[in-house]
Amino acid sequence: MALSVFFKTPWYSVILRGKQFKIAFMAMLVFMFFLPSRAEAQAEPFPDMAVQGTMNLPTPPPPPIIPFIDLTVRNPASGQEVAFSLQLLLLLTVLSLAPSIIILMTSFLRVSIVLDFIKRALSLQQVPPNQVILGISLFLTVFIMWPTFDAIYTNSVRPLAAGELSVENAYREAEAPLRLFMYSQMSSRPENIRLFMAMRGLSRPNTLADVPTYVLIPAFILSELTVAFKIGILLFIPFIVIDMVVASALMSMGMIMLPPVMISMPFKLILFILVDGWGLLTDQLVRSFIH
């Protein structure tokens, strides 16, 4: 009977007549009456030792300043501007040719070739790497050429920066120490100078001033190549002897399939270390440029 009455009566009427609803309704009214309003809650001060909050956004940092570079092309206003443009073009040309100047007009050519010869004579393939060989050659070149570079800086670069010399005079002052260095390396072997002078149809020079720079440079390059190959031949002789001895020993023992280079390389390295090869090689290379 009770179940039939419950299903026939609507659910909301049962809830409204229940004691649980009346208790919940009274509790809600009490809670709303004693709850502080939103304005009062916002007006309450922060407790002690609390951090004051703020709604203000921080000031953004200023944007980075990027300089504006304006490259304009216009007609020159005077002959001085034309001369300055030509000087700037000449300077850029010299800078682009600087690696070739360092390689071919200094001691770098001889030093790099000799170091490569000693690497091949020792039967070394990857040690030391080519970058290391070139780095050693570069710093040895700076060491050998330092008096020449110092003379160029003292007589040409510094007066030009101070405005005491024109560009043409600075070029002449910078050219003179390099010409003296190149000629000093060929003073005992002037055949290359005579060769290129004859190829150009020029008369036999009496002094260095009679030799043009465009003749002196290729003559110096051929001379350096000749000297470097002569040094390389002298370096190869003792190591070739070791190769021949090792090859003869292997053939006498019937070990034909064993590569002689594999056996001879440790003996070459031992000999090179015992005689202080790097020190002797460096000393003789530096002395070869001093007359």
pTM above 0.85, yes or no: no
- Cα–chain-centroid distance for residue 8? 95
Distance of CA 185 to the CA centre of its chain: 31
Model confidence over 212-270: pLDDT tens digits? Answer: 888 888 889 998 898 899 988 888 888 888 888 888 887 887 777 777 777 788 888 88
Residue whose C-alpha is closest to residue 220's, from 67, 124, 109: 109
Residue spans per domain, the chain: 98-288
Q: Which structure tokens are listed for 263?
A: 């056996």
Q: What average pLDDT is seen over the chain?
A: 76
Encoding tokens for residue 268? 């070459």
Contact in structure between 116 and 110 (CB atoms under 8 Å): no
291 residues of the chain, pLDDT tens digit each = 444 444 444 544 444 455 555 565 566 655 555 555 444 444 455 455 555 555 666 777 777 777 666 556 666 666 666 566 776 777 778 778 778 777 888 889 899 999 989 888 888 877 788 888 888 888 999 999 899 888 888 888 888 777 787 777 888 888 888 888 888 888 777 788 888 888 888 888 777 788 888 888 888 999 889 889 998 888 888 888 888 888 888 788 777 777 777 778 888 888 888 888 888 888 888 888 886
Can you give the chain as a three-state secondary structure string?
Answer: CHHHHHHHCCHHHHHHCCHHHHHHHHHHHHHHHHCCCHHHHHHCCCCCCCCCCCCCCCCCCCCCCCCCCCCCCCCCCCHHHHHHHHHHHHHHHHHHCHHHHHHHCCCHHHHHHHHHHHHHHCCCCCCCCHHHHHHHHHHHHHHHHHHHHHHHHHHHHHHHHCCCCCHHHHHHHHHHHHHHHHHHHCCCCCHHHHHHHHHCCCCCCCCHHHCCHHHHHHHHHHHHHHHHHHHHHHHHHHHHHHHHHHHHHHHHCCCCCCCHHHHHHHHHHHHHHHCCHHHHHHHHHHHHCCC
Nearest to 133 by CA among 114, 156, 161, 154: 114
